[in-house]
Amino acid sequence: MWSSTYGDWKMSILQKKQLTVKRAGTFIAIICLFTLWWLIVTVKETPHSRRFLTVPFSKSVSSSVTMTETQLPVVSTIKKVCEKKTRIAFIKVHKAASTTITSIIQRYGLSHNLTFALPRESDLYHIGFFETFDPANVRQLPKGKVYEALCQHVVYNREAFRKYLPRNMKIIAAVREPLARSASAFQYFHSYSLEVKSKSKANLSNNPLTLMREFLKNPEYYEPHDFKQGSLAYNRMAFDLGLPKAQYSNSTFVDQYIRQLDEDMSLVLIAEYFDQSLVLLKRIMCWSTKDILYQVRHKGSGIAEFPEDLKSAHRKLASVEYRIYDYFLSKFNTLYSNEVDIDEEVHLFEYTRHIVDHFCLSQNKQIVIEPTKFDKGFIFTQKDCQFLTMNETDFVKYLSKVQEP
């Protein structure tokens, strides 16, 4: 009898366990079904699932801008985490998007409290128009500080940079299609057209192509006296990047020097692919989208197409410049093609620029740019707009006051 009672009790315990397991399984299934339903409803209904930027647009001075876009997705987490590089030197090649890049670095350095190598008051644009970096041509450093940012004109020289600048400073440069760069310089520096018109025996019009064609016939004769040491109309890209003029026709030396430049530079931006270059710079330096925003400064030459005879004459005169450009364009294409989803990020960057430009023309106090999978998002204020549009020399004066010793 005792054995029968024990058996019944054991069977009762087993049945209770089975019932508990069944109930637990049912409860878990209900939880899973509810979670799946909630996710489906959320994806369908939340505006977060189909938007890129949500910044309110309002004419009220006290409110943020509100603007919605329903074509680009937002991802609220950043997949890639890397260590931000702050110290940077920019080799400012004349007429190769250099002023716009300078503005980017000035704003970045200011927001990150970097110490700039600034020119003396006698020349707010150049530390060295024909010379490399020399502390004698730079304003005095604040006590206990080192140079952390350089973005004024100076001729690159590996030895000088290694002697006076920190070894962990990232060096970048920018290049531009040589004929377009030359045409831009020819028009920007008016002494070229004035020199050609005054020296030429022909009755030339003011057409820039006509003046350039005449200049290329005899560049040494027409070169303005102030630029004899390093012409701005041809091969200035090679000059600013430190290639000795005496070696321009030495193919072996030029190729070796270009490879050395490639080793020294963290990135060489391409003016014709400016937004793509900036996004690539952002990734290399681990900067934010806010760090690379810009407004176009000096426009290009405005010449849509160059005649074949002008192209041929210029390529013959500035062959070393084409070798530099072709090399770094090829390198850029390789770097860019190896990046994941970079076309998408460039598209988002271009749209963000459009939104910020619109905001800076408004009376609103700030704009909120939401996170994407490429960036954590940021706030942009009217104070930021002031720095975005500040010209180069005013920025140099402002930085000089900020870091007075």
Domain boundaries, the chain: 1-45, 48-75+340-396, 88-339
399 contacts 110 by C-beta, under 8 angstroms: yes
The first and second tokens of residue 365, run together, are: 């106090």
Average pLDDT on 194-215 reads 86
| pLDDT attached to residue 296 | 83
* Predicted confidence (pLDDT) at residue 190 exceeds the cutoff of 50: yes
Helix axes 178-188, 308-317, angle to 10 degrees: 90
* Predicted confidence (pLDDT) at residue 200 exceeds the cutoff of 80: yes
**CATH number 3.40.720.10 is the correct assignment for the domain at 88-339:** no
209 contacts 310 by C-beta, under 8 angstroms: yes
The first and second tokens of residue 57, run together, are: 């647009």
Query: pTM of this prediction?
Result: 0.80
> What pairs with residue 380 in β-bridges?
367
The per-residue DSSP string of 130-197 comes to SSB--GGGBPPPPTT----EE-SB-B--HHHHHHHS-TT-EEEEEE--HHHHHHHHHHHSTHHHHHHH
Amino acid in position 101: I
Average pLDDT on 345-366 reads 96
- At 339, is the secondary structure helix, strand, or coil? coil
The rounded mean pLDDT for the chain is 82
Rounded CA-CA distance 268/329 in Å is 9
Which of the four pLDDT bands, split at 50, 70 and 90, describes residue 256? very high
Segment 12-68, tens digit of pLDDT: 444 544 444 445 455 555 454 444 444 333 333 333 322 333 333 322 233 444 443
Higher-pLDDT residue of 54, 185: 185
| pLDDT attached to residue 291 | 98
Segment 156-173, tens digit of pLDDT: 999 999 999 999 999 999
Segment 98-124, tens digit of pLDDT: 999 999 999 999 999 999 999 887 677
Which of the four pLDDT bands, split at 50, 70 and 90, describes residue 299? low
The first and second tokens of residue 76, run together, are: 């609220």
**Pairing mode of beta strands 66-68, 88-91:** unpaired
> What pairs with residue 378 in β-bridges?
369
- Judge residue 18's burial from the number of C-beta atoms within 10 Å of its C-beta, 0-12 exposed, 13-18 middle, 19 or more buried: exposed
177 contacts 112 by C-beta, under 8 angstroms: no
| pLDDT attached to residue 284 | 97
Which of the four pLDDT bands, split at 50, 70 and 90, describes residue 325? very high
Higher-pLDDT residue of 31, 283: 283
* Predicted confidence (pLDDT) at residue 73 exceeds the cutoff of 60: no
Report in angstroms the alpha-carbon separations of 362 from 377, 378, 385: 20, 18, 11
| pLDDT attached to residue 120 | 83
* Predicted confidence (pLDDT) at residue 91 exceeds the cutoff of 90: yes
Segment 384-405, tens digit of pLDDT: 999 999 999 899 999 999 988 6
Amino acid in position 117: A
